[in-house]
Amino acid sequence: MLPAPLPFNELQRLQDLYAYDILDTHAETDFDELVELASHILGCPISLVTLIDKDRQWFKAKRGIDFSSTKRELSFCAHTILQNDVMVVEDAEKDERFSDNPCVAGELRIRFYAGAPIISPAGHKLGTLCIADRNPRSLSADEHRYLVLLSSQVTKLLEIRKRNIVIRERAAEIIKLKSDAINRYIGDIEHEKKVIARDLHEQFAQEIASSLMYLKMAEKEKTEKQLSYILSAKEQLNNTLHNIRNLSYKISPLANQLLDTGEMVSEYVKSVAATCSFKIILNLPDISNIRADRERLLILIRTIELWLKMLNYRKDITEVQITVKIKSQLLIEIKHNGIAIDESLKNEMLQHILCDKIYSYNGSVNIPLEQGKNMLLITLPLPEYINEKPVPGILYN
């Protein structure tokens, strides 16, 4: 038995595969119908949608077998992804690569195999749509074409599934953002109402008490001073009425608050780190007390969280450094030690609704080319200049 060598672009291929978030998912009708169709059209009892993972081949859909994966070293499909066209093995017992393979020499008794690579839009071969039989046979030109067509349908299903996941996540994020914004708005209004009510009570109580004092003094006087006291009381009441009207037009919740920004960022990163496979080093200056808009800060933190979750699908990343800098704006650098970010992941991130919110605040989100495409840079304007005081990096995971 001769196990297949690794493709030259194995790391990028695995990264592309993991981006679909499909391994170890439940059976789905669309994929099951494709293998049923393959068996019917091509006349083979066994048909599979196979995805080649790091150390195994896993079957997203299967017909004619009752197990869901095998070791990669036993895989016919691991050989198929090394070429661009359909791979055909007419008689596995006569092929030195497979003659002593347990799938051939064991109970399964595979003799014939044909597989068409599943090729992603990025050009990576993720797996195969394949058929197998227990009898030797050949593959006709028409059957060759049908197999290629079916494998291209698998690619389309994977893309549709990936887009649907993104749409669902964005819809959920929109709902959450809307709900959070409403709750914060209501909370701010309730707080401001209490503050305003207290201030109004104290101010107007004093003004009305002063007016009552003038009226009482007027009751006791029977001279020309009586008119003076009454006029003073009238003026005081007019001032009170004027102040009430002015306040009714000017009341609005405060946008900027004195927040413990460092603690907020640190706590969010800590909570996300618990779900990540890589370690996170947070380089955070002393930003315990800066005046900032709570909603903007939460959008910034959720953008960091989104990017960390995207990076978590990358198996080649073992360390992520988050550096926070403050000049005339808040600057976040998120750098990882894996390979460069591909265009699909870059576009998915930069087109996310959270990034749209950052842009609306005159901030920016980008992946600088000069940094080797392994760093995300986020900026957000601050209302005032802050001097940063660096503190040692905090390690998570």
**Helices 294-311, 261-273: crossing angle, 10 deg rounding:** 20
Contact 316, 13 (CB under 8 A): no
According to DSSP, the residues that pair with 56 across neighbouring strands are 71
The predicted structure's pLDDT at residue 324:
87
Task: Identify the CA nearest to 15 among candidates 137, 126, 92.
Answer: 126
Three-class secondary structure of residue 209 per DSSP:
helix
Find all residues with CB under 8 Å of 140, minimum gap 6, and list them. Answer: none
Exposure class string for 84-116: b at 16+ Cβ within 10 A, else e? eebbbbebbeebeebeebebbeeebebbbbbbb
One pLDDT digit (tens) per residue for the chain, 397 residues: 788 999 999 999 999 999 999 999 999 999 999 999 999 999 999 999 999 999 999 999 999 999 999 999 999 999 999 999 999 999 999 999 999 999 999 889 999 999 999 999 999 999 999 999 999 999 999 999 999 999 999 999 999 988 888 887 777 777 777 677 677 767 766 666 665 566 555 555 565 656 666 566 665 665 666 666 666 666 666 666 556 545 543 444 445 555 667 777 788 888 888 888 899 999 887 665 566 667 778 888 888 888 988 898 888 899 999 998 887 788 889 999 988 888 888 888 888 878 888 888 888 999 887 656 688 999 888 755 444 454 555 565 6
- Look up residue 239 and give its two tokens: 């001032």
Three-class secondary structure of residue 332 per DSSP:
strand
Sheet architecture: strand order including 394-396: 364-366, 375-381, 329-336, 319-326, 279-283, 394-396
Distance between CA atoms of residues 357 and 173, nearest Å = 12
Task: Identify the CA nearest to 244 among candidates 291, 196, 278.
Answer: 196
Distance between CA atoms of residues 101 and 108, nearest Å = 10
Q: For tokens 């990096």, name the residue.
A: 393
Distance of CA 313 to the CA centre of its chain: 10
- Look up residue 362 and give its two tokens: 């005159």
The torsion angles phi and psi of 122, rounded to 5 degrees, stand at: -80, -5
Give the CA angle between residues 365, 369, 374 to the nearest 5°: 75
- Look up residue 359 and give its two tokens: 């842009």
Which H helix or E strand runs over 70?
Answer: strand 69-71
The predicted structure's pLDDT at residue 144:
96
Q: Pairing state of beta strands 319-326 and 290-293?
A: unpaired
What is the pTM assigned to this prediction?
0.49
- The conformation of residue 285, written as its DSSP 8-state character, comes to B
